[in-house]
Each structure stands twice: as C-alpha cells, then as structure tokens.
Amino acid sequence: MEDCYQGFDPAAYLQTNYTPPLADLERKDSTVPWKLACLHRAFTEGDVSGELLVDIGSGPTLYQVMSGCDVFNKVLLTDFLEVNRQELRSWLQDEGGCSLDWTPYLQHVCKLEGRLLWPLMSFLTVGADCLLSCYCLESVSPDLAASTRALGHIGRLLWPRGHLLLIGTLGMSYYLGAPGVKIPTVPVNEAQVCASLKESGYTLIRL
C-alpha cells in the first residue's frame, strides 16, 4: 500500500476533490456540505465531546475537524505522508503557500453553528475522547480483514466510552491521488462496515 502513495500530490488532490465542480458549498447535491452537516450534527447533537479529538489519516484536509474544535480542547491531525503533514502545517501555522484556502469551509461551518469565524489549533497528547477518520482505513488497507484490524488498532487510542466517527464511500475501489494516480481502496458494503465495527469491539450508535 505504501508504494501506491508515492505519487500522491496534495495540491492536485485538493483541487480535484475540494473545489467546484465536485465540491461546491453552495449546491445542495454536493457531498461536501452534506459531510459538513453530518459532522456538525455528530459533534453538537449528542455527547461526543471531551479533551482530545484525534483525526486518523487527515490527508491534506481540515474540513473534518472544524465542527469538533468547539467541543474538544485539543485536536490532533495525523497522516502517514510527510507531504500531507506539511500541507496541514502550512495552513495551521499560516506559512503561506497552501494548496487550498479553507476559509470558505470555515465560514460554512461557522454558519451551521451560528457563530463568527474562529481559529484551529493542533496539539499532541495521549488518550482520545473521540477518533475521527474520513476515507482513511479502507484506503491504506489491502483488504477487508486488514481494514478491520486497523479499526481495532486505532480503538486503543480511545478512552473508555469514547466515540469513533467514520466517513467513507460504500463500494469505492479507488480514488485519484493525482492525475493518473489511482490509489486502491477496499470496496465495502454496509453489512461489512457494521460487521467490522462489531468485530473490533465498537457499539454502533448511528449509521
């Protein structure tokens, strides 16, 4: 799986997947505002909160933790690729040269929350109250069994009674990491996702 990611280009990935026409915050049929709304509900309608939120496999993206910043004191972004970690650092440390301006996403989330724009912070600590993973485990695993094992491994980062939030695409077999760079993913269905969660010791609250 490591070899598949050698050609990953954060800038190309962001431009392809997080700008119009594929990602349009103004269109109701776009998946991006739907994902932001799902995350907003997850972080505001239940008891998903605490000291630390850990995002497993952030890639070069920030949208997935924006709603969590108000209910967690610390947010930890993680990724296997240095190019993705550098992309995140550039934005968080305001170094310039970022591949995507996340301001429209922040504005959209703030509108959902009925608040003005706020900053994001990233901290390192141990013991998470919540884990978040978007499109990660199925895209770094060679098969369903490995993906299920990964679910079990990341669960060790959670405090007891902590929460795991997952976003993924059912039946997807690959995505583009750059023009012409197909990165394989494990094509899972709903039953397989539920079975993997159960096998890994999680209790499903909402699908």
* In-domain check, residue 143: yes
* In-domain check, residue 121: yes
* In-domain check, residue 204: no
**Percent over 70 (pLDDT), the chain:** 94
- CA 36 to chain CA centroid, Å, is 11
pLDDT tens digits for 80-105?
Answer: 999 999 999 988 877 677 899 898 99
If pLDDT is split at 50, 70 and 90, which confidence band does 124 have? very low
* In-domain check, residue 140: yes
pLDDT higher than threshold 50 for residue 35: yes
If pLDDT is split at 50, 70 and 90, which confidence band does 122 have? very low
Contacts of 96 (CB under 8 A, 6+ apart): 90
pLDDT higher than threshold 90 for residue 47: no
Nearest Cα to Cα of residue 187 among 197, 172, 175, 167 = 172
Distances from the Cα of 15 to the Cαs of 18, 21, 107, 133, 178, in angstroms? 6, 10, 19, 21, 10
* In-domain check, residue 39: yes
For 113, the 3-state DSSP assignment is: helix
pLDDT higher than threshold 70 for residue 163: yes
CATH number at residue 31: 3.40.50.150
Mean pLDDT of the chain: 90
Q: Between residues 127 and 98, which one has the greater pLDDT? A: 98
pTM for the model: 0.76
pLDDT higher than threshold 60 for residue 126: no
Work out the average pLDDT over 36-41: 95
Q: What domain range is 150 assigned to?
A: 3-199
pLDDT higher than threshold 70 for residue 13: yes
Residue 140, CB-side half-sphere exposure with 13 Å CA sphere = 18
* In-domain check, residue 205: no
pLDDT at residue number 9: 96
* In-domain check, residue 44: yes
* In-domain check, residue 206: no
Number of domains in the chain: 1
